[in-house]
Amino acid sequence: MPPALTLPDGRRLALDAAPLLMGIVNITPDSFSDGGMLRNAADAIAHGEKLAADGADIIDIGGESTRPGHAPLDAATELGRVLPVIKGLRERIATPLSIDSWKAEVAQAALAAGASIVNDVWGAQRDPAIAGVAARHGAPIILMHNRETIDPALDILSDVLRFLERSISIALAVGVPREQIVVDPGIGLFGKTPEQSVRLIRELGRLRELGCPILLGASRKSVIGVITGQSVPAERVIGSVAAHLYGATQGAAIIRAHDIGQHAQAFKVWAAISQPLESRP
């Protein structure tokens, strides 16, 4: 049977073809790219519906910004932002939903409300109980590398591998099967210089050593701005697509992006070109 993520309702998301596309719904006033764009639950639900129509395989819903200097959020406020959106989208679309949070309390409520995947930007190391939440619900968990500080002298690839090994151990210890664990190198200002982020994209294939599917999320990130000279995040779409296409050649199984329509078009072309000649119609 081909590799897949199994959702709590029994559905399987195949990981053997072109990468799955994860669309981003940020219900935050202070996210780096789209903070304040979605002013209320109705706006966020409409945006999620559009992402699904544009080709998203997963909709990732977050209520707390993760940009540097963001204001910490308590679980109650975060849940007040995300739960109406999860419930609204669950009523309108069949696309699986993920909850973008590091808090076990938020993940528990989100999964109970209809989310299917946990996406933790701290790799179950800030609130390890979140791994147990995923295990009890039978939900896949995405474990991302993160750092409190930037160290330009750090061997970032080694640091990412060691960090994610610890994260995987936490998840395995509470019953999350390895095939339900996705790893993410944490591209951008998650304790990394632009040069370190570039290296992680270039050597993304090394993460296959961990034995888990890989998620790549370079969408509109500062590293794309450094490379292209585009200071406005919304103007970094083409650069983001380029980074993600390269990541797919290195084994990325999931691409997390703001601009799903453009990514869907790019990956359709990529899949057609990369398809073996003998299997073409």
pLDDT in tens, 219-278: 999 999 999 999 999 999 999 999 999 999 999 999 999 999 999 999 999 988 887 654
Residue 72 above 80 pLDDT? no
Count the neighbouring beta carbons within 10 Å of the beta carbon of residue 2.
8
pLDDT of residue 39 exceeding 90: no
- Sorted by where each begins, the domain ranges of the chain are 19-272
Please give the average per-residue pLDDT across 81-108, as a whole number.
97
Of 183, 184, 181, which Cα lies nearest the Cα of 173?
181
Q: Name the one residue in this structure whose structure tokens are 């999860």.
A: 86
- How remote is the C-alpha of 150 from its chain's centroid? 21
192 is catalytic: no
Q: What is the pLDDT of residue 18?
A: 87
Using a pLDDT cut of 70, give the percent of the chain over it: 92
Residue with token string 């099967």: 177
Q: Between 245 and 40, name the one with better pLDDT.
A: 245
Would you say 37 and 25 are in contact if contact means Cβ atoms under 8 Å apart? no
pLDDT at 191: 93
Say whether 67 is catalytic.
no
Average pLDDT over residues 81-102: 97
Cα–Cα distance between 197 and 185 in angstroms, integer?
A: 9
Residue 131 scores a pLDDT above 90: yes
- Tokens describing residue 124: 């179950």
280 vs 1, more confident: 1
Residue 93 to residue 189: CA distance in whole angstroms = 32
pLDDT at 206: 97
CATH for 19-272 is 3.20.20.20
When pLDDT is averaged across residues 38-63 and rounded to a whole number, the result is 92
Identify the residue with better confidence: 138 or 43: 138
Contact 204, 252 (CB under 8 A): yes
CA atoms within 13 A on the CB side of 166: 14
Q: Which of 103, 192, 236, 256 is catalytic?
A: 256
Q: Which of 81, 192, 221, 236 is catalytic?
A: 221
Averaged confidence pLDDT in the chain: 92
Q: What is the pLDDT of residue 149?
A: 93
- In the predicted model, is pLDDT for residue 73 greater than 90? no
| pLDDT tens figures, 175-213 | 999 999 999 999 998 999 999 999 999 999 999 999 999
